[in-house]
Amino acid sequence: MRRNFRRPKVALVHDHLVQDGGAEQVLRELMRIWPDAPVYTAYYDPRRMGPDFRRTGGSGRAHTGGKDIRTSYLQRLPLARRFYKWTLPLIDGAFRRFDLSEYDVVVSSASAWAKSVRTGPDTLHVCYCHTPTRYLWSDADRYIGETGYPRVLKSAFRGMLGRLRKKDLRGARGVDAYVANSRYVADRIKKYYRRPSVVIHPPVDSSKFGPSRKRGDYFLLAGRLEPYKRGDIVIEAANRLGARLVVMGDGTDRRRLEKLAGPTVEFTGRVSDARRKKLFAEADALINPQEEDFGITVVEALASGAPVLAYRRGGAAEIVTARAGAFFERQTPDAVAAALRRFKPQRYRKADLTARARDFSAARFRRALKTHVDAELGSHADRR
């Protein structure tokens, strides 16, 4: 097939469109870089997605106000979009049914199986990797322990783990070039997939946030309330110190955390965009106790003029500088409490905090990724 590398034909691939989070923000920017590219995904639930992911009708081709989103056969299975975790044995095969050899460039946005699509020898496949598949590699034991599934299903998953890892590695080998969302993830790509990668931090829309002159005299814990996020150690530290803590968000761990909480801890649940902005802007600091691949809420706090007190692991260690916050070294209530005693929010300048947040702008992400893909495409053409 004769290729036109000056105007390459591009396809985008994303794991699934059933929730709107950080990975979907990356996909939004990919869609802005390549607005004519179709998006291939396992399944799509329009009720859970924002207007940026409004799908075309009719033939499925893009038209004004819609996106060309192409789903796998799993979309037709009853209840697959609602109970998508139950399709795990089928998901690799669903992506491998997508034959994208007609495209010059395939850019996959993957934290799991999107990288498994089939491409031809002339196609450049660049994977923007949010993480090597966590529940197969770095977090397999924790995932099995925390699923809440019956023991027989946990046992079945353990029995499938070896086969699923082989399939994941097969998909990983089909990628020509990896882009990692942090140095932390780049290390895991090298460890599990034995591949090098370049680091381009993900985009954060900090324009929705801004500093406030008011201070609410509270620390903030924000995000999904899940066991691995370690909200428990922050709540226990606040209890000991009698410090006011606002917990913003919801999740499967909320009930347990509420039982741990003392009188100075307040839970807001999910909040409106306006209240979210206000809670960030008036906080003395955001406390980030978890080990994350990147850390979007950390950047949102900085954009709001709030410093960050973080566990020194994962993406937060790459975001928080000496002018943007401080760290604690262990995930324990003692370590958090000691760090809170030392922490002086007034020493941080809002101008420094918001400037750091701008380092992760969407415009910066688009420029860096487009430049990198163009360079990889040039190298790919030369090798041919």
The per-residue pLDDT for 107 is 98
Look at residue 61 in the predicted model and tell me its pLDDT: 42
Backbone CA torsion sign across 122, 128, 134, 137: positive
3 state SS of 177: strand
Angle at the Cα of 15 from the Cα atoms of 75 and 302, rounded to 5 degrees: 135
Place of tokens 């909040």: 271
Q: What pLDDT does 1 receive?
A: 46
SS3 150: coil
The residues, any chain, with a CB within 8 Å of residue 18's CB and separated by 6 or more, are 43, 44, 45, 48, 49, 81, 84
Reading the block at residue 28, the tokens are: 């939004």
Helices 88-96, 151-173: axis angle to 10 degrees equals 20
For residue 243, the model assigns a pLDDT of 95
Domain annotation for the chain: domains and CATH numbers = 10-203+362-383 (3.40.50), 206-358 (3.40.50.2000)
In 3D, which of 371, 336, 165, 368 has the Cα closest to residue 243? Answer: 336
Q: What is the mean pLDDT of each run of 10 residues along the chain (384 residues)?
A: 69 90 90 94 85 61 63 82 71 92 95 93 95 79 62 69 89 95 95 96 89 89 91 97 95 93 95 93 96 92 96 94 96 96 93 95 94 89 64
pLDDT value for 150? 61
User: Within 174-230, where are the H helices?
Assistant: 183-188
Contact 130, 25 (CB under 8 A): no
